Amino acid sequence: VIDLATLEDRAAETLHPHALDYYRGGSGDESALADNVAAWTALRLRPHVLRDVSSVSTATTVLATPVRAPVLVAPTAYHLLAHPDGESGTARGAAEAGSVMVLSTFTTQPVEDVARAGDGAPLWFQLYVNKDRGWTAELVARVRAAGCTALVLTVDLPVLGLRLRDERNGFALPPGLARVHVPPASAYDDDLGASPGSALRAHVNRDVDASMTEDVIGWLADVGGLPVVVKGVLRGDDAVRCVEAGAAALVVSNHGGRQLDGAVATARALPEVVDAVDGRVEVYVDGGVRGGSDVVRALALGARAVLVGRPVVYGLAAGGWAGVRDVLDAYAEDTARALALCGAASVDDVTADLLAREP
């Protein structure tokens, strides 16, 4: 049994302190990071009893893709920093666990290698839109050719949040590691010379298109020919704008508490977005989902699935591809357990009234 609560401690034993700070940290005072976890915990469950849960299924679909459990791999950067298996290891682990991996634009291995490691398992690609739209269009064509079946457009990063841990330790990729899917001038951190603070912040603020509006959703759908999932929505009005602009699904996310200091917890933002979307597209959520009860809470609030960021990276750090598989298996098993204990034989049996009304 993988104990999700102590996984971070196991990863901490293997990671360089700067890498651990990068993975673990949030922006500003890190209250959004802490509040993500606390907001799930604050939602109390009202389980049914005396229901037939002799057989429980966690299976569902996301964008019509079957998954073993409603738990997907959130896009996270720099997997070679966590383990030599890198993003390919994460893809293999996700494939073996029957999940969907979202590969970050800031991958340290090429999308073709990652897709091969997943051996046909569903792979989605997370996109940061570069100021050079031509570059972005070429990247989209490339990830599609590699077999990615959806684009996940991250919209909560017009500039990088102020991550004080990274600023203090001058976080940069070690020599030899690169962001392989950004323009060559931005691939390596060592070209920044004596730039103080986080090298990532310097690159992102130079390269990412902070002028984009919801028009980018239709543009991406046209150039990519793939469904566009919009990640980083926290408000109902924005959710409606995204749906009207052509989004195929939304991810309620505050980037794991790494962007706006003081952002609302995702468990609190989710109901507003689910209401506004009114069933037109699937809604997913991430941030602080740390076990099966949190998965059930998210489903009860109307999410179709959750994404998990840090625990997957910790699994990779602690055990390579098999560690990723074990973490995702643990989520699936814990979700099955929580469903059974709620008297729900499948994800379709999860209803809003499983949650206690807040006092």
Ligand X SMILES: Cc1cc2nc3c(=O)[nH]c(=O)nc-3n(C[C@H](O)[C@H](O)[C@H](O)COP(=O)(O)O)c2cc1C
Task: Return residues touching ligand X (CB under 6 A).
Answer: 22-23, 36, 74-77, 104, 106, 126, 154, 231, 253, 255-256, 258, 286-289, 308-310, 313
Nearest-CB residue for ligand X: 309
Q: Report in angstroms how near the CB of residue 261 gets to ligand X at its nearest.
A: 15
Which distant-in-sequence residues (6+ apart) come within 8 Å of 204 by Cβ?
128, 157, 159, 160
Phi-psi region of 63 (alpha: psi -120 to 50; beta: other; left: phi over 0): left
Which distant-in-sequence residues (6+ apart) come within 8 Å of 27 by Cβ?
33, 161, 162, 163, 164, 257, 258, 259, 260, 261
Torsion of CA 137, 306, 179, 186, to 10 degrees: 60
**Can you point out the beta strands (E) in 19-93?**
60-62, 65-67, 71-73
Q: Report in angstroms how near the CB of residue 52 gets to ligand X at its nearest.
A: 33
**Can you point out the beta strands (E) in 128-187?**
151-154
Which is nearer to ligand X, 53 or 203 (by Cβ)? Answer: 203
Nearest to 156 by CA among 101, 238, 215: 238
Q: Report in angstroms how near the CB of residue 16 gets to ligand X at its nearest.
A: 13
Which is nearer to ligand X, 154 or 198 (by Cβ)? Answer: 154
Strands 60-62 and 65-67: antiparallel
- One-character DSSP codes across 196-210: -S-HHHHHHHHHB-T
Nearest to 136 by CA among 40, 51, 214, 212: 212
Amino acid sitting at position 297: R
Structure tokens at 326: 């074990």
Structure tokens at 210: 């902070």
Which is nearer to ligand X, 56 or 87 (by Cβ)? Answer: 87
Q: Which of 79, 83, 181, 255 does the annotation list as catalytic?
A: 255
Which is nearer to ligand X, 56 or 303 (by Cβ)? Answer: 303
Which is nearer to ligand X, 152 or 339 (by Cβ)? Answer: 152
Amino acid sitting at position 340: A
Whose tokens are 């070209």? That residue is 191
Q: Report in angstroms how near the CB of residue 180 gets to ligand X at its nearest.
A: 13
Q: Report in angstroms how near the CB of residue 357 gets to ligand X at its nearest.
A: 26
Contact, 259 vs 225, CB < 8 A? no
Q: Report in angstroms how near the CB of residue 359 gets to ligand X at its nearest.
A: 26
Which is nearer to ligand X, 103 or 115 (by Cβ)? Answer: 103
Which is nearer to ligand X, 221 or 233 (by Cβ)? Answer: 233
Running DSSP on this structure, what letter comes out for residue 267?
H
* 18 catalytic residue (yes or no): no
Q: Report in angstroms how near the CB of residue 309 gets to ligand X at its nearest.
A: 2
The residues annotated as belonging to the active site are 255
